[in-house]
Amino acid sequence: MTTPPGITIRHDLKPGDIGYIVYLHGTLYAEEYDFDRTFDAYVAEPLAKFIKTQTERERLWVVEMGDRIVGSIAVVEATAASAQLRWLILHPDTRGAGVGRRLVQYAVDFARGCNYDSIFLWTVDFLDAAVALYKSFGFEKTEAKTHQIWGRDLTEEKFVLDL
């Protein structure tokens, strides 16, 4: 799997990366899905904690196009046996070029290498391309819950992959 020209993926975090990842989530989800400002806090709080307490069994990848951040994905330890895939996002300029597939592959391979038994994620039901991507890796939906969150009525879905 090759990375498209002009795109780099790294996991050596630099000052400003975290703020930009929160900004990218907040602005894109507001523009594309009408999420409100509380979504920024939903991303920022656990992301800040992750940066402060990150272990060797956790990793955050940053996608850059030129000198700007255009995406991310992370593997976070949920329990000793289970990892959570978090903060997958790609700017529209990078979608459809296989970058999302590469990111999920990095995350799944990393989780396997860390000897997790499974990896799970939460998403919303209308992110069809993301759901199809997860399913292509063998993730299976195990739970769904509908509630008012981020200024909308949403159905969140949990997907799990046994490693």
pLDDT digits (tens, 9 = 90+) for 108-146: 999 999 999 999 999 999 999 999 999 999 999 999 999
**Sites in the chain below the pLDDT cut of 70:** 1-4
pLDDT of residue 2: 62
Contacts of 79 (CB under 8 A, 6+ apart): none
**What is the chain's alpha carbon radius of gyration, rounded to the nearest angstrom?**
15
pLDDT of residue 67: 87
pTM for this one? Answer: 0.93
3 state DSSP class of 144: strand
pLDDT computed for residue 70 by the predictor: 96
Q: Which domains does the chain have, with CATH numbers?
A: 7-116 (3.40.630.30)
CA distance 69 to 16: 10
pLDDT at position 6 is 85
> What's the pLDDT at 38?
95
Tokens of 117: 């038994």
Q: What 3 state SS string does 66-100 have?
A: CCEEEEEEEEEECCCCEEEEEEEEECHHHCCCCHH
